[in-house]
């Protein structure tokens, strides 16, 4: 149940629609517009002024591929599809016509009387007395409420008096009792065409044609199919655009994720500092980060008891300051002997140069000049 506030809001919305029906064409109300059409309602077209048509001529929509920045948001805004709605009419808003009780027992006398009413209706139709025909057919369906042909026949009369909504109700009833009722599909298809429900009309008329083709169905299909095809092409176009948008969004997210990972990797590399390594896993993480950031990495193996190492360590720290884009790591072979073993370190100091995760050079011993020369060589080699 809706509370009083919700009812009041709905009433205000309806009043706003009555004063300005073009609101229904707001993209955010597509779901509501489609719901109204499913009930047989005719959504009014947007009235265009002469200036509107000039604007349309001057500025034509361009659906060529765009970059993400070219869109205002992540939604693809649909334009109206151009259709031939010259014969479309407003839906009839009469109260629903009487329907028989399908649970009622139908006797042979009921069927005979219903057939008699149908015959009277057919005579009235021949004389152009459609209101009288409707009355006879209503009596017939009350007498024989499960007869699909009676409902389908009354639907055809409603079509003659331009009451497509009533015709659809009767056609639905006919198809409920006989799913293979060609007349039911035909009447419903023609009624939907009157209301501008082109795709639904085409579907019904194609089924009717397969069940029992006649020239009237063929003529109506020639009118309906072009509009139905335009709608389908329109839908496919925007499905394609939305798919492209989804791919662009996915690529953008991938790039953002990659950039975030690179920023995180670079932040962990501590530019201008010497980073101490205590385990193989820690070393692997730094190697991956350096590779992702396309940085040269130097792995300095040292030991506290090594005299030459005590000479090279301050120099190594100074070089880290001079080359902030190079990753300077330091491993104490006694503290992280598993790392030293995996690199087959037999003496210290040893400096291993790593590019893209692979060792590209090495300096063994306290050779200051070679170390500086190798750094200069490999830091600019890529």
Catalytic residues, by residue number, are 306, 309
Contact assessment for residue 298 and residue 350, using Cβ atoms and an 8 Å cutoff = no
Residues 312/368, Cβ–Cβ less than 8 Å: yes
Residue with tokens 């130097």: 298
Pairing verdict, β 358-364 and 297-302: unpaired
Q: How many CB atoms lie within 10 A of CB 346?
A: 9
Tokens of 311: 């000479």
The CB density around residue 109, as the number of other CB atoms within 10 Å, is 9
- Calpha distance 32→41 (Å, rounded): 11
Task: Name the strands in the sheet holding 350-355, side by side, starting at the edge strand that comes first in the sequence.
Answer: 274-277, 327-332, 297-302, 350-355, 358-364
Torsion over CA of 12, 18, 20 and 25, rounded to 10 degrees?
90
CB 153 within 8 A of CB 118: yes
Q: Which two tokens stand for residue 125?
A: 């139709």
The answer to whether 291 touches 357, Cβ cutoff 8 Å, is yes
The encoded tokens of residue 224 equal 């309906």
């Amino acid at each position: 149940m809706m509370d009083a506030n919700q009812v009041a809001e709905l009433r205000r919305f309806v009043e706003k629609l009555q004063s300005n029906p073009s609101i229904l064409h707001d993209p955010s109300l597509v779901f509501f517009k489609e719901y109204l059409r499913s009930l047989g309602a005719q959504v009014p077209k947007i009235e265009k002024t002469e200036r509107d048509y000039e604007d349309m001529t001057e500025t034509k929509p361009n659906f060529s591929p765009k970059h993400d920045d070219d869109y205002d948001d992540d939604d693809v805004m649909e334009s109206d599809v151009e259709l031939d709605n010259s014969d479309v009419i407003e839906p009839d808003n009469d109260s629903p016509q009487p329907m028989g009780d399908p649970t009622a027992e139908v006797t042979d006398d009921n069927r005979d009387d219903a057939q008699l009413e149908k015959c009277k209706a057919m005579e009235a139709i021949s004389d152009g007395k459609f209101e009288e025909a409707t009355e006879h057919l209503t009596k017939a369906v009350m007498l024989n409420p499960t007869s699909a042909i009676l409902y389908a026949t009354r639907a055809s009369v409603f079509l003659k008096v331009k009451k497509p909504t009533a015709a659809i109700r009767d056609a639905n009833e006919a198809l409920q009792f006989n799913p293979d009722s060609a007349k039911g599909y035909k009447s419903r298809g023609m009624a939907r065409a009157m209301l501008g429900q082109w795709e639904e009309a085409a579907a019904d008329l194609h089924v009717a044609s397969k069940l029992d083709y006649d020239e009237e169905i063929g003529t109506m299909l020639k009118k309906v199919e072009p509009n139905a095809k335009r709608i389908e092409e329109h839908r496919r176009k925007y499905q394609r655009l939305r798919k492209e948008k989804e791919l662009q969004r996915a690529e953008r997210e991938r790039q953002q994720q990659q950039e975030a990972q690179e920023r995180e990797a670079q932040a962990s590399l501590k530019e201008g500092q010497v980073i101490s390594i205590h385990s193989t896993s820690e070393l692997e993480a730094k190697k991956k980060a350096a590779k992702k950031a396309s940085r040269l990495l130097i792995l300095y193996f040292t030991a506290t008891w090594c005299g030459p190492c005590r000479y090279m360590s301050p120099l190594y720290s100074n070089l880290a300051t001079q080359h902030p884009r190079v990753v300077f790591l330091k491993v104490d072979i006694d503290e992280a002997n598993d790392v030293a073993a995996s690199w087959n370190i037999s003496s210290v100091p040893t400096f291993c140069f790593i590019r893209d995760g692979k060792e590209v050079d090495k300096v063994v011993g306290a050779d200051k000049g070679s170390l500086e020369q190798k750094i200069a060589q490999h830091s600019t080699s890529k």
